[in-house]
């Protein structure tokens, strides 16, 4: 069996949801700590995101992923990232995360306005038999978000926030 160099691997197609509440704060979930997770061990927070199924429209995928991870349905898309954002996994996670099939992620991000009641949000008892990705959640400002996200995602998160937050406020 030959070893594939990480730069020869594809990016995992993914969507992300920058969900903003009425106060202009951003939804962030605390990832359950697990060494098998792509972020590796640590105490990390992130915005909802996940893979796009084969042939799935990204706009459909973002609603599906958001619901699967947070139980949120009361949102509407306000803006979409102009392009796709890429990030590479750090070397210690390459060849391990996502079964070693991807070098990182290629993400389409959506700014979404939360229009429901907070009682709708449930990150622990997620629907349809999915495994919970988060064990708690909060609304935070952009700077606080950057302080909580895993370091290798900070650059792309900063660019996403810089692009989308002004379009949703």
Instruction: Give how far Cα 32 sits from Cα of 23, 26, 35, 72, 115, Å.
Output: 27, 19, 10, 19, 26
- What confidence tier does 4 reach under pLDDT thresholds 50, 70, 90? low
pTM: 0.89
Stretch among 10-14, 98-102, 155-159 having the lowest mean pLDDT: 98-102
- The pLDDT, as a whole number, for residue 167 is 92
Phi-psi region of 131 (alpha: psi -120 to 50; beta: other; left: phi over 0): beta
Task: Indicate which CATH number applies to the domain containing 136.
Answer: 3.90.79.10
- Examine residue 65 and state whether it is found in any structural domain, yes or no: yes
The answer to whether residue 29 is domain-embedded is yes
Range of the domain at 157: 8-168
Per-residue model confidence (pLDDT) at position 41 = 55
- Does the residue 113 lie in any domain? yes
The reply to whether 3 falls in a domain is no
Highest mean pLDDT among 6-20, 53-67, 80-94: 53-67
Kindly state whether residue 2 falls inside one of the protein's structural domains: no
Domain total in the chain: 1
The answer to whether residue 44 is domain-embedded is: yes
- Assess if residue 25 is contained within a domain: yes
Q: What is the pLDDT of residues 13-30, one digit of tens each?
A: 999 999 999 999 999 999
pLDDT tens, 34-56? 555 555 556 789 999 999 999 99
């Amino acid at each position: 069996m030959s070893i594939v160099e990480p730069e020869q691997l594809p990016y995992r197609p993914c969507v992300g949801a920058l969900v903003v509440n009425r106060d202009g704060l951003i939804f962030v979930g605390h990832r359950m700590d697990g060494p098998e997770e792509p972020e590796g061990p640590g105490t990390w927070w992130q915005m909802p995101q996940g893979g796009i199924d084969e042939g799935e429209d990204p706009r459909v995928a973002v609603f599906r992923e958001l619901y699967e991870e947070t139980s949120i349905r009361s949102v509407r898309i306000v803006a979409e990232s102009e392009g796709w954002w890429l990030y590479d996994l750090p070397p210690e996670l390459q060849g391990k995360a996502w079964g070693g099939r991807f070098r990182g992620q290629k993400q389409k991000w959506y700014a979404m306005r939360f229009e429901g009641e907070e009682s709708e949000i449930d990150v622990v008892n997620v629907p349809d038999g999915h495994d919970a990705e988060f064990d708690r959640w909060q609304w935070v400002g952009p700077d606080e978000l950057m302080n909580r996200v895993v370091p290798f995602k900070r650059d792309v998160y900063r660019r996403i926030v810089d692009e989308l937050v002004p379009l949703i406020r």
